[in-house]
Amino acid sequence: MTYLYLIFAIILEVCGTTSMKLSQGFTKPFPSFLIFVFYGISFTLLTMVLKRMDVSIAYAIWSGLGTALIAIMGITYFNEPVTFMKLVSLSLVIIGVFGLNLSSGAY
């Protein structure tokens, strides 16, 4: 159940960051409102995860996978440029998250 909460926390964090982009600097009311909803629920779930998981592992997974997913969203939906260095860097973030999990004995 802990990993399920963490996955939902990551998805909601990505939704919150996407809402930031869509709010156009808080000029669009609905996406601006959604920023707080998505981040509020995301932080609530992350707090629940921290009851059962080390903060170093949980936060690394939350922030690392969230970063990777939002970069993919930027490329896919916001037409951000794809470069070789961006792809290598995203791969390293994902490898780092898995490495931290392996070092904690999660697998």
- Directed axis angle between helix 55-77 and helix 29-49, to 10°? 150
Structure confidence at residue 103 (pLDDT): 79
Tens digit of each residue's pLDDT (9 = 90 or more) over 51-70: 999 998 899 899 999 999 99
Mean pLDDT, 10 residues at a time, the chain of 107 residues: 96 98 98 98 98 92 93 94 93 88 68
Note the pLDDT of residue 25.
Answer: 97
Side-chain half-sphere of 64: how many Cα atoms within 13 Å? 19
Q: How far apart are the first and last CA of the chain?
A: 15
pTM score of the predicted model: 0.89
Contact 96, 88 (CB under 8 A): no
